[in-house]
Amino acid sequence: MAKKTVLITGCSTGIGKLAARTFYERGWNVIATMRKPEKEEELGEQDDLMLARLDVTDKASIHAAVSEGVGRFGGLDVVVNNAARGGRALLEASSDAMVRAMYDTNVFGVMDVCRAVLPIMRKQGSGCIINITSMAGMVGLPLETAYSGTKYAVEGMTEALAFELKGLGILAKTVAPGVYSRTEFSANANDDDWAAGGQALTTYSDKLRAHFRSSVSAEGGNTADPQEVADKIFECATEATPVHNPVGNDAQLLMKMMGGPGRQAFLDQAEPLLLPPS
């Protein structure tokens, strides 16, 4: 049986790197992509693990990485859109540069990767796209207004894509992690605009952040193992799962508050209105 192949974006740190290792250790060909693969010291080139440059804001690099990976491994079974940019500030204090950079990476970058791989999957008649979102795409988080907007966008886009691709034999899903403080993502989030609104707004922001951190800690976000997210990604790639897949105590708590698995039941009921009979 031929090995399956996965392409993962944002593999230089955190969940992306863990996902690359998880797929590789479970016998997959892995195209581990990042903006600067020449600096990668932990993931090494192997017969079944390829490092490739891919910046989701650079279409040429997307197409080059996809072409090189498919040329090496012969196909593409799963794509994991993990690369993302974070940022925290009140919307009033958020700069154009921060907001636009976040949308360029988190929304348009995901769309561009999808458009690059879909012709390959359509020709194969199979494939799975897994978009990594966030619990910030399930409920709007104060101080992460722009980030929540991007993740809501990807949740909605993926839901539409799941309907759109069903007749072509291709799956689309999201994995929505809660807070995993043991990854580099939170530390790397852009806080440059935190104090841009002046002292009064900064004091208010500090108050909001302190409360959120306390809530996250109560749900185990400070000690949660990010390997849970990599395992959920692999599960979505290999098993029948819903379109929306929260992971982490906090994200699952929010999903329960919103009615548990009711979203998938709603999508199943809506399908006859949106899709012709197969």
Domain extent listing, the chain: 5-269
Q: In whole angstroms, what separates CA 25 from the centre of its chain?
A: 21
Instruction: Classify 261 as helix, strand or coil.
Output: coil
Please check whether residue 4 is in contact with residue 74, taking contact to mean a CB–CB distance below 8 angstroms: no
Q: Is 147 a catalytic residue?
A: yes
Residues of the chain with pLDDT under 70: 1, 182-190, 194, 196, 216, 218-223, 260-262
**What six digits make up the tokens of 238?**
């290999």
Backbone φ, ψ for residue 104 (5° rounding): -60, -40
Question: Is the CA virtual torsion 43, 49, 50, 54 positive or negative?
Answer: negative
Instruction: Classify 242 as helix, strand or coil.
Output: coil
d(CA 267, CA 137): 17
CATH superfamily of 5-269: NAD(P)-binding Rossmann-like Domain (3.40.50.720)
**What six digits make up the tokens of 73?**
């491994």
Tell me which of 24, 147, 152, 204 is the catalytic residue: 147
At residue 216, the pLDDT reads 65
Sheet holding 78-81, edge to edge: 49-53, 29-34, 5-8, 78-81, 127-132, 170-177, 244-247
pLDDT tens-digit readout, 194-235: 676 778 878 877 888 888 788 767 655 566 799 999 999 999
At residue 264, the pLDDT reads 86
DSSP single-letter state for residue 105: I
